[in-house]
């Protein structure tokens, strides 16, 4: 199938575009949605296939708004159905913050990758240092959006609850994974295997909730 942008899209093009340039996220989501992708005969691809399409500024006021911003922009630019998500950590005692600001909570624009993740995490732990264990409830939230080229849109949410530890544990996750003690478990999110995490994570739940929409709207 052609890979040179929206001008090449045809009615037989069975690609579904995930609004990310992170190849790891494409692989992860392909695993989460493996059954439904096979049923509707869709190939999941990332934005690396469309290098000419600009990244979208996530300036919405909610996870759902940001997910829709990205999916709508990608669907319009590529002429293909698009998936996008936005997620973050919601801390009860902080009224839901960091929320949509999770990825930039520390304000350290000079940092990227794991360094930025650690700065965000360290700041949050410092802010909660005097909060008793019984008040450290928190959870990850994910909004996943599906948008078709004709503007049809669906949004689903997933939640992954737990409590915040006082120091990081585990090497399998990223972001705030090392400090979220999974509800009903003795491990943090970063101590779960990828398969275990996909089965119960906010992202897995949100996208699996979209499976019915994919069947309904994109089935052959």
* 137, part of any domain: yes
Q: Residue 102 CB: number of other CB atoms within 10 A?
A: 21
Most distant CA atoms of the chain, gap in Å: 58
H or E stretch including 119? helix 113-127
Residue indicated by tokens 């049809």: 152
The answer on pLDDT for 171 being more than 70 is yes
Catalytic residue among 86, 117, 177, 213: 86
Distance CA(173)–CA(198), nearest Å, equals 11
Q: What is the CATH number of the domain that holds 70?
A: 3.90.950.10
Residues of the chain above pLDDT 70, percent: 95
* 1, part of any domain: no
Mean pLDDT, rounded, for 142-160:
97
Catalytic residue flag (residue 48): no
pLDDT in tens, 33-62: 999 999 999 999 999 999 999 989 899 999
Instruction: Tell me how many domains the chain contains.
Output: 1
Q: Where are the alpha helices (DSSP H) in 33-159?
A: 34-40, 63-78, 113-127
What is the model's pLDDT at position 13?
87
Q: Which two tokens stand for residue 42?
A: 């869709």
Range of the domain at 50: 6-218
Rg (CA), the chain: 18
Mean pLDDT, rounded, for 85-112:
96
Q: What is the pTM of this model?
A: 0.89
Q: Are 169 and 162 in contact (CB under 8 A)?
A: no
Q: Residue 216 CB: number of other CB atoms within 10 A?
A: 10
* 67, part of any domain: yes
* 56, part of any domain: yes
Mean pLDDT, rounded, for 170-188:
95
Mean pLDDT, rounded, for 6-15:
60
């Amino acid at each position: 199938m052609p890979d040179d942008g929206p001008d090449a899209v045809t009615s037989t093009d069975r690609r579904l575009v995930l609004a990310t340039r992170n190849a790891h996220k494409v692989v992860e989501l392909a695993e989460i949605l493996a059954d439904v992708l096979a049923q509707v005969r869709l190939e999941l691809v990332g934005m690396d296939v469309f290098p000419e399409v600009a990244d979208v500024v996530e300036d919405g006021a909610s996870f759902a708004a940001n997910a829709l911003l990205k999916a709508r922009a990608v669907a319009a630019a590529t002429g293909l159905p698009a998936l996008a998500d936005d997620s973050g950590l919601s801390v009860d005692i902080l009224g839901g913050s960091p929320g949509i600001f999770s990825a930039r909570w520390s304000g350290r624009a000079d940092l990227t990758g794991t360094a930025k993740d650690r700065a965000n995490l360290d700041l949050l732990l410092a802010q909660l240092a005097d909060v008793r264990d019984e008040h450290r409830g928190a959870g990850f939230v994910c909004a996943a959006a599906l948008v078709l080229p004709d503007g049809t849109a669906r949004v689903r949410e997933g939640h992954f609850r737990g409590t915040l530890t006082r120091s990081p544990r585990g090497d399998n996750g990223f972001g705030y994974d090392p400090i979220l003690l999974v509800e009903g478990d003795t491990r943090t999110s970063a101590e779960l295997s990828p398969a275990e995490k996909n089965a119960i994570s906010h992202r897995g739940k949100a996208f699996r909730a979209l499976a019915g929409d994919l069947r309904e709207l994109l089935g052959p």
